[in-house]
Chains A and B, each alone.
Chain A
Amino acid sequence: MKTIYEESVPGRATLGIVLKDDPAQPGCADMLPAQMLRGAAPRLPECAEIDVVRHFTGLAELNYSVDANFYPLGSCTMKYNPKCTEAVSQLPGFARLHPMLAQLKAGEKACQGALQVLCDTERFLCEITGMKGFTLQPMAGANGEFTGVSLIAAYHQAKGRSRRVMLIPDSAHGTNPASAAMAGFTAVTVESKDGMVDPEALKAAVAEHGDNLAGLMMTCPNTLGLMETRLKEIVQIIHSVDALLYYDGANMNAIMGKMRVGDVGFDVVHLNLHKTFATPHGGGGPGSGPVGVCEKLLPFLPAPRVERRADGSYGFMIDSGKSIGRIGPFYGSFGVILKACAYIVRLGAEGIKRASEYAVLNANYMRRKLEDVLQVPFDRICMHEFVASAPEGMRALDIAKGLLELGYHAPTIYFPLLVHECLMPEPTETESKQTLDAFCDAVRKVVEDGRKDPEALAQAPRNLPVTRLDETAAARHMILTEDMA
């Protein structure tokens, strides 16, 4: 498809969309010294409104999306995004609100509805996770991870010690070690055993790093889709040296109403509202990654924090003086938080619990339906997702591309790295039995056809806007803008 710049015609202006032309309006040259002005106008598209509408309607048609296709993408929780939560987020009473208004004394009174949304959301997330307090500031999951490990750093620093080692299981998401490094920690890998964190390996790590051990970052259920069966031991080992336990909430959709991470001993948790709480992924963002903490970490939470006062009004707490500072510019990705809040209000306790139950049911159903097609390494009940290897002699990548050709988004592939030619499907609770059956049939067909004609599978997908793209050439030639071409 042509780019918007190729559609552009010099002099075709769409003035009037945002501003009626005013002949009396002074130009910038009348208002600023010449040396402060740019030499030439920026070469932005010059299009009529209809050109722009057709261009972006055309681009939308090139995309897969949850609204059009099943997206069994492991670790990403691509559940249906309810329309009513979108509508709520666009209410002008929220969308037009300036964040700094709330920082003025009289302005705080003008933002009571928005402040209540923040307060209610924090309260809901505390109840779902069993944590004592939340910050909604982190702007994505990885940003939440950084916040969480920074809180761990602050905890140890407040006790007058510098602990540098953060333990991370080999099955963890890549963001975990990257976030730990950003907060000044050395990421040390713990090898897992039969897909689980191994308490013996942990004990050895605790012995080795002793007074230098800050904490352990865990995903639970882990990235293989399995519940850690020796969690209590793990918690005990880490806490025995006053190190802290970090819970990566990527897989929270598996356990809501079944286990609260705060109850079982986790000290810090981040959630991904764009996964578990049904806010849309937006083609890669915006996300939101709130962080919850146990009692002893409350004073370190990012400032400012919102509270409900004795008189029923909402406002900001007095700063504890120990806060790690500001993670986001204000109170978080409010528009995203609002959608998650609306989702929780809509579902309530029973609906939230059901979401996890049906997510796990769907994953197990799919696991059973596919165990004679793919190689499923762990023959046991999985949680909301499971891992499988491509059949002998086949590549996960080819199966993924074959599925695209049949109209399905591919599962996550090549993650976790522990599993050979890994495919990781996560169906979520919002998909019907018919959808799962049809998807499993498609996997079967791709594998059978691929056996008969590997050449054809290696060419898939052949019916999409483009075939497989030359990624090596992209990295070599680095055409990142129209002008680098």
Chain B
Amino acid sequence: MPYIPHSQAELEEMLATVGVKTLDDLFADISPDMRPKSFNLPEGMDEGAACAFFEDLAARNRTAMASFLGAGYYDHNVPKAVDALAGQSAFYTAYTPYQAECSQGTLQAIFEFQTAIARLMDLDFANASVYDGGSALFEASTMCVRQTKRSRVVVDEAVNPVWRSMLATYTANQPIEIVTVPQKNGTSDVDALKAAVDGQTACVIVQNPNFFGVVSDFTELFAHAKSQKALSVISVYPVMQAVLKTPGEMGADVAVGEGQSLGLPLSFGGPYLGLMACRKSFVRQMPGRLVGRTVDTQGRTGYVLTLQAREQHIRRAKATSNICSNQSLCALRALIYLSLVGPQGLRKVAERGMALARYASQMLLALPGVTLLNDRPFGNEFAVCLPKAAAPLVDALIERYGVVAGYPVGRHYQGMDNVLLVACTEKNTREQIDRLVESLGGLL
């Protein structure tokens, strides 16, 4: 049997030690009427056949298309060193670092990750990560509800709709009221957000760049929130954070984000990486694992999981969250990625995407009937209005030209069927953009 090392002689000796005759005797507590009604799994395969089976399935996915699909998840180059280093089995086959003495590698890496994320966000500290950008948004919301003892959460409709729908699911049975403030042509309606944030508000949640790619400065909104003793939460795209005004500079209390763009493959939806940083005063309300630096009995520096009294295995029903895992290996990848590219490299990645997005927008605007959704500054992603419905055009471009033009936002925003969201990263080229524009032009 694969992965079971016992020889027949060993099996017999071990059964004798236990005092039973057959393996099935070990299951005598499961009476005959409780045995499986069926167990129709396929027969096992040898390694070669199993790998061939999955290689064949992989070949049925078309990944070689020129793609401008982003919408919160971006196809960036991943340095080979990320795979090589995070692929060391001493990292990926290790357990959660509860036994600190034999887990210093994982623990120090998480400490370094916490530092990198805190510095990227310009806030005091970060946790060891949560599942993804959407669960980070939820964890931030409940943290603010606990901290303020208020129950209303104001959310900008220009926050990623996938994450907002997760927030709705997670809060469905909690005494939390979600108030969604409509966006205007893909821009955040700051006046309406300010009007919605009052003395009952736990926090206001915005995103930068927002779902439509628009870059904003929320300093004024966050100052207003502060005047109402409400907290400010901002979700960011970590690559763009190399250049954009930071959550700290805007006066945010909590920053969250989807960390996939930092060295993680798109991998059809996960595993991803939830980033979460905040001000020091919230440390005891922070969900998830935290690693702290300390000393051993000989005074040497070492790292441990700390402030565990917040967590479910101690606090049970009163814990800050039920979260038990972090996304340790994903966090490690992000840390290695950031270490390899450094501040200048990350800036270059952000700037290249932005420059290509500007080229793409100019070229698209030259097509008849194509306009920008709004005239606000954008990062590496922007929304255009097409003269007809976007979804069928995107389908046609995939089928005829092997180009994924972007994301039609109509399925998430009423009345926006003609709007197409186009993202560029350093992996895109001007030639690809020319192909996109030419093929789209032929369909308009």
> Of all chain A residues, which has the CB nearest B354?
A31
Q: A28-B354, A43-B343 are in contact. List 19 more A-B contacts (CB 8 A).
A: A42-B120, A55-B339, A93-B61, A94-B267, A113-B59, A114-B57, A146-B322, A153-B173, A177-B317, A179-B322, A182-B170, A263-B36, A284-B106, A326-B169, A333-B270, A345-B42, A349-B42, A409-B102, A483-B118
Q: Are B51 and A78 in contact (CB under 8 A)?
A: no
Residues of A within 8 A of B289 (CB): 284
> Of all chain A residues, which has the CB nearest B266?
A98
In order of increasing CB-CB distance, the 4 nearest A-B pairs are A348-B44, A93-B58, A330-B269, A184-B173
**What 1/0 flags go to A28-44 for Cβ under 8 Å of B?**
10011101111101111
Number of interface residues of B (CB under 8 A): 203
B221 interface residue, CB < 8 Å from A?
A: no
Q: Are B95 and A71 in contact (CB under 8 A)?
A: yes
A357 interface residue, CB < 8 Å from B?
A: yes
Q: Chain A interface: which of B127-135, B192-200, B222-230, B362-370? A: B127-135
Chain A contacts with B in 339-362, Cβ cutoff 8 A: 342, 344-355, 357-358, 360-362
Chain B contacts with A in 86-107, Cβ cutoff 8 A: 86, 88-97, 99-106
CB distance from A9 to the nearest CB of B (A): 10
Q: Are B101 and A466 in contact (CB under 8 A)?
A: yes
Q: How far is the CA of A133 from the CA of B319 in the complex (A)?
A: 31
Q: Are A14 and B340 in contact (CB under 8 A)?
A: yes
Q: Are B44 and A346 in contact (CB under 8 A)?
A: yes
**What 1/0 flags go to B132-143 for Cβ under 8 Å of A?**
111100000000
CB distance from B246 to the nearest CB of A (A): 5
Residues of B within 8 A of A117 (CB): 54, 57
Q: What are 26 A-to-B residue pairs whose CB atoms are below 8 Å?
A: A4-B335, A14-B340, A14-B345, A37-B245, A38-B246, A39-B246, A55-B339, A59-B108, A63-B104, A65-B94, A79-B3, A98-B73, A107-B404, A117-B57, A140-B324, A142-B322, A153-B172, A178-B316, A182-B322, A185-B173, A255-B27, A282-B330, A335-B271, A466-B300, A473-B295, A480-B111
Q: Chain A interface: which of B147-155, B183-191, B301-309? A: B301-309
Q: How far is the CA of A469 from the CA of B79 in the complex (A)?
A: 35
CB distance from B412 to the nearest CB of A (A): 10
A224 interface residue, CB < 8 Å from B?
A: no
B414 interface residue, CB < 8 Å from A?
A: no
Residues of B within 8 A of A53 (CB): 81, 84-85
Q: Which of B99, B111, B355 contacts A481 (CB 8 A)?
A: B111
Q: Are B30 and A91 in contact (CB under 8 A)?
A: no
> Of all chain B residues, which has the CB nearest A114?
B268
Residues of B within 8 A of A107 (CB): 394-395, 398, 404
Residues of A within 8 A of B81 (CB): 17, 49, 52-53
Q: How far is the CA of A255 from the CA of B19 in the complex (A)?
A: 20
Q: How far is the CA of A116 from the CA of B65 in the complex (A)?
A: 20
Q: How far is the CA of A297 from the CA of B442 in the complex (A)?
A: 48
Residues of A within 8 A of B67 (CB): 98, 101
Q: Which of A45, A71, A100, A429 contacts B3 (CB 8 A)?
A: A429
Looking at A33, A96, A415, the one whose CB has the most chain B CB atoms below 10 A away is A96
CB distance from B318 to the nearest CB of A (A): 7
Residues of B within 8 A of A97 (CB): 61, 63, 266-268
Chain B contacts with A in 332-373, Cβ cutoff 8 A: 332, 335-336, 338-352, 354-355, 358
Q: Are A469 and B131 in contact (CB under 8 A)?
A: no
Known pairs A286-B330, A481-B126; A354 contacts B217 (CB<8 A): no
> Of all chain A residues, which has the CB nearest B173?
A184
Q: How far is the CA of A465 from the CA of B100 in the complex (A)?
A: 10
Q: Are B342 and A285 in contact (CB under 8 A)?
A: no
Q: Are A479 and B244 in contact (CB under 8 A)?
A: no
Q: Are B14 and A433 in contact (CB under 8 A)?
A: yes
CB distance from B83 to the nearest CB of A (A): 8
Q: Are B306 and A471 in contact (CB under 8 A)?
A: yes
CB distance from B109 to the nearest CB of A (A): 6
Q: Which of A59, A130, A325, A469 contacts B37 (CB 8 A)?
A: A130
Q: How far is the CA of A98 from the CA of B41 in the complex (A)?
A: 30
CB distance from A419 to the nearest CB of B (A): 15
Looking at B40, B71, B128, B328, the one whose CB has the most chain A CB atoms below 10 A away is B328
Residues of A within 8 A of B114 (CB): 480-481
Q: Are B103 and A63 in contact (CB under 8 A)?
A: yes
Chain B contacts with A in 1-49, Cβ cutoff 8 A: 1-6, 10-11, 13-15, 17-20, 23-24, 26-30, 34-45, 47
Q: Are B101 and A404 in contact (CB under 8 A)?
A: yes
Q: Are A14 and B4 in contact (CB under 8 A)?
A: no
Q: Are A17 and B37 in contact (CB under 8 A)?
A: no
> Of all chain B residues, which has the CB nearest A128?
B41
Q: Which of B50, B63, B395 contacts A106 (CB 8 A)?
A: B395
> Of all chain A residues, which has the CB nearest B248?
A38
Q: How far is the CA of A69 from the CA of B303 in the complex (A)?
A: 21
Known pairs A227-B30, A325-B169; A36 contacts B215 (CB<8 A): yes
A381 interface residue, CB < 8 Å from B?
A: yes
Chain A contacts with B in 305-333, Cβ cutoff 8 A: 324-333
A461 interface residue, CB < 8 Å from B?
A: yes
B125 interface residue, CB < 8 Å from A?
A: yes
Q: How far is the CA of A482 from the CA of B237 in the complex (A)?
A: 23
Q: Are A282 and B328 in contact (CB under 8 A)?
A: yes
**What 1/0 flags go to A126-158 for Cβ under 8 Å of B?**
011010000000011111011000100100000
CB distance from A476 to the nearest CB of B (A): 9
Q: Are A258 and B35 in contact (CB under 8 A)?
A: yes
Residues of A within 8 A of B182 (CB): none
Q: How far is the CA of A480 from the CA of B26 in the complex (A)?
A: 48
Residues of A within 8 A of B134 (CB): 326, 328-329
